[in-house]
Structure 1
Amino acid sequence: MSASSQGTTRPFKGSKNSSIQNPAMEVKIDQHFNAKVYTSGSTIAGHVAVRASKDTAFDNLDIVFVGISATRLDFVQQYPSHSFRPFLKIRMPIQESDLPGDRIFRAGSEYKIPFHFVVPHQLTIGACNHACLSQDVRERHLRLPPSLGAWEADDQAPDMTQIEYAINAKAIQLGNGAASKVMEAHHILKVLPSLPEDAPLDITFRDEWYKLSKTKTIRKSLFSSKTGQFTASAIQPNAVILSADGHKSSMTSVRINMEYAPSSAETAPPKINSVTGKLVSTTFFSAVPVDHLPNLGSRTNCESTPCLNYTTTHSLFTLPVESVSWMQQDASSRSRRDSGYSSTVMEGDASESDSSERRRRQSSKGKSSKKPKLSTVIHTTDIAIPFTVSNSNKKLFLPSFHSCLISRSYTLQLSLCVGPTNTAISLAVPLQIGVETIHEPQGHELPSFESALAQAEEEEADAYLQPRVIHAPMSGLHNDTALPGYNELSRRTIGVA
């Protein structure tokens, strides 16, 4: 199911603003500017400035680094229209010396309460507490997603999706069994977390979003007989890695293997006229947590809760192919080599098989002589096409990610024009976009559940393999005042009268 973003608004009202401040309270971040991008391991330090216009009593002051995702389903009325899911909440411990002792912000005085946060490299295990079809899905949900909807450029996401990072500060007063906010401030941040390159996807025939290989019939003209079969197969390219601020990107290349099986041995391979590449950005979103990777499997969503998708297309390249070097090989020898069955038979079975094959040839000699001789030649070649994606002031390519409510994936659409009739062969190849890691995880950060488990198993194995030193018992007279040991009792000789 696809969705359009026309005539809609973001689920977070006013989220395009970098900060929402109260005149009495303001969040100030050191060395911050509106276009600054934070990544995993980045430090977010500053202070909350309080300038009360009148004496304001409070009981608690909270400064929290939060991350929240939100979706809105405008076209499905039977499901909740809005869905909010917090995935990150880091509270800053505040020293008592930073607050007024009487818990009253005095008018005319200015108070500065410092804070210091570090963008984590991954989420805690409680951020994804719903059922998942595999551990791989849960591990991807425990990665930080990038900001969505906070960029000046078009991030190619619909207005019904939002991922927001912010520093929230609020002063709370307790009374009559309820808590009320007496002042608050909100500062939105742009976060582009480090996301490494994953292993290539295991694409099967059930994955309708992708098509790695396709075969087409080649003809000299529209109404002529076929001259052969042309097969194009693409290999998943390496990921495009963005810089930590998203301004630069690495080069990658896609390799296309081509095979031509002519109808006769005299037919030459067709000319490859051009290759066109387009990048399709797909944003998946749902009102409830998704338990699978939405870019794998069927395009048609038959589940009780729909997972909508929003796509945009960006042209990457259109390249003419001047000439390619074809290699010729015997199809029959290759088929025998590729066969997984053994050709070894017993001597008697071999002679019996040869005689039956001879009789079959003699019986079909008249029929086969009337048919044209089939070609046993296959031509193969391949081409590698380098490309990259670049972010600009108008369009932004975010990294590939999967979270509980929102996912982003990319598909490289390749189109080959082959032969005199410009036969089109279209392929759809998955492409990953990652983000480099510039701040390695520090020792004081909490390890992931998997790394902690692996470390515990390693320590247990080391303890088991450590050598054990066995000391010989000391020789000497035994002290009669002490009880004998078990070994001494076993060696004691008992005399028989």
Structure 2
Amino acid sequence: MTTETDNLDNHLPVSHNTLRKTFLRVDFPVEESVPETILEPKEIHRIPFSFVVPSHIPAQMCHHTCANCQVHEEHLQLLPSLGKISQYFENTHDMSPSEAEITYSIKFSVVEKMSNAEWPKILKETTYPIYILPRRSEMAPLLLAPESRYYKIRKEKCLKKGILRSEVGTLVLSTFQPLGIELCRGPQPQNSIEASTTVRINLRFDPAREKELPPHMVSSEIKLKAMTFFGMEPWFSFPDHSGPSAWGSRQTYWSETISLHLEDCFINWRKQAKAEGSDLALFYTASVDISIALPDTLAYPPTFHSCFISRAYALKTILSYQDHSKWRGSASASLTVPVQIYVS
């Protein structure tokens, strides 16, 4: 498995900034679990308590302007833990930069009761970190603009050959957003069936002349790209729908890419015909299905968007083919399609 990293170097560095918010408070009367109102030294007093983590954060926490209601609603979803993954799981990483973290902890305080005339006295306080992985349903596929910076679902290439670079034909690759990748038991896949999906690549070759044949496919490769958007200014819209030119000066981007799948690619081209005026033009079509599964050596926070941090994923598929202009070697074409990771 190889890992590649990429950051946005045309923006100002984002300085370290911390936002803290208590969104759940539980007042627990200790008398219900500890009959003795006085805690004796060197004795262990067990105080069981339970609480339900809400699925949404308070509406007033997102008070900035949003592009539409969908963005505002997404910003109110409970955020998953992000970063500092090693304190919960051994020898793993969630592909997030150190500058972007979402952490949760339980803060426990023991308060001594005083008379009505005096303020309660805090005897002891401690915090315990917890990992939160909220359930998130799969959202509708994205509507992508052709000029999208992060996704490319259609590519057209003109194939040529010979010293004179005579045109052979046009190769068109297209795809669509695959089914989301579901995590069932935690942020890491548990088996080969879980956390998988299939990407279909549709190909079309329009020969420049009837005698020209479609290229011979050599191999297929697919990579997972984890994109983390973060900053000290709230996001007006979903950051992966726009580009850096629409961002603020204190908003930036980080990505890590891992290889998931590489194998030889053999396809059967289907010869077809279409009527163009009085002529009958020939063309060839084919499709490639690439199945992938997430490696269990990493943790995968689900796709989410919040006011200050977002995580999105993409699958980059690379098809290598025998170039007509080369006796040896091959050329390649790639597509990048969004994919959601969600928790059932």
**TM-score bin (small chain):** 0.7 to 0.9
- Structure 1: tracts of 5 or more residues without a match: 5-72, 337-373, 437-497
- Match of residue 116 from structure 1: 50
Q: Distance in 1 between matches of 2:76 and 2:163?
A: 54
Alignment of 1:101-250 (within 5 A): 105=39, 107=41, 110-152=44-86, 153-172=92-111, 181-221=122-162, 223-246=164-187, 247-248=189-190, 249-250=194-195
CA contact (8 A) 1:74 1:81 kept: no
Change (3 A) 1:305 1:253: same
1:103 Cα offset (Å): 7.7
CA contact (8 A) 1:98 1:112 kept: no
CA contact (8 A) 2:267 2:288 kept: no
- Match of residue 13 from structure 2: 75
Q: Percent identity?
A: 27
1:288 Cα offset (Å): 2.8
Q: Are 1:287 and 2:232 matched, yes or no?
A: yes
Aligned with residue 84 of structure 1, among 16, 19, 36: 19
Aligned with residue 196 of structure 2, among 251, 254, 259: 251
Change (3 A) 1:108 1:315: closer
Change (3 A) 1:423 1:108: closer
Change (3 A) 1:222 1:107: farther
- Structure 2: tracts of 5 or more residues without a match: 1-5, 87-91
- Give the partner amino acid of 2:304: F
- Match of residue 320 from structure 2: 417
Q: Distance in 2 between matches of 1:310 and 1:180?
A: 45
CA contact (8 A) 1:148 1:164 kept: yes
CA contact (8 A) 1:92 1:116 kept: no
- Report SS of the residue matched to 1:235: coil
1:147 Cα offset (Å): 1.3
Higher RCO structure, 1 or 2 (CA under 8 Å, sep 6+)? 2
Q: Distance in 2 between matches of 1:102 and 1:387?
A: 58
1:159 Cα offset (Å): 0.8
The Cα offsets for residues 264-301 of structure 1, whole Å up to 9 and x where unpaired, read as 11212221222211111111111132221111112x24
Q: Distance in 2 between matches of 1:286 and 1:164?
A: 16
- Give the partner amino acid of 2:7: S
Change (3 A) 1:306 1:207: farther
Q: Distance in 2 between matches of 1:144 and 1:160?
A: 20
- Give the partner amino acid of 1:280: K
Change (3 A) 1:3 1:325: closer
CA contact (8 A) 2:305 2:311 kept: yes
1:411 Cα offset (Å): 1.3
User: Whose Rg is larger?
Assistant: 1
The Cα offsets for residues 224-257 of structure 1, whole Å up to 9 and x where unpaired, read as 3111011101111110101222333333111111
Q: Distance in 2 between matches of 1:268 and 1:255?
A: 22
Change (3 A) 1:221 1:331: farther
- Give the partner amino acid of 1:117: F
TM-score, normalising length: structure 1? 0.59
1:263 Cα offset (Å): 0.7
Q: Distance in 1 between matches of 2:229 and 2:163?
A: 41
1:375 Cα offset (Å): 7.8
The Cα offsets for residues 372-407 of structure 1, whole Å up to 9 and x where unpaired, read as xx9822222222211121222xx2222211122111
- Match of residue 221 from structure 2: 276
1:160 Cα offset (Å): 1.0
- Report SS of the residue matched to 2:148: coil
Alignment of 1:327-406 (within 5 A): 327-330=271-274, 332=276, 376-392=281-297, 395-406=298-309
Aligned with residue 254 of structure 2, among 287, 298, 310: 310
- Report SS of the residue matched to 2:171: strand
TM-score, normalising length: structure 2? 0.82
Q: Distance in 1 between matches of 2:270 and 2:288?
A: 11
- Report SS of the residue matched to 2:239: coil
- Report SS of the residue matched to 1:140: helix
The Cα offsets for residues 442-480 of structure 1, whole Å up to 9 and x where unpaired, read as xxxxxxxxxxxxxxxxxxxxxxxxxxxxxxxxxxxxxxx
Q: Distance in 2 between matches of 1:100 and 1:268?
A: 83
CA contact (8 A) 2:316 2:337 kept: yes
CA contact (8 A) 1:301 1:307 kept: no
Q: Could you say what the CA RMSD is over the residues aligned between the two structures, in angstroms?
A: 3.1
1:142 Cα offset (Å): 1.9
Count, aligned residues: 322
Greater helix fraction, Structure 1 or Structure 2: 1
The Cα offsets for residues 316-348 of structure 1, whole Å up to 9 and x where unpaired, read as 112222232323121527xx9xxxxxxxxxxxx
Change (3 A) 1:110 1:382: closer
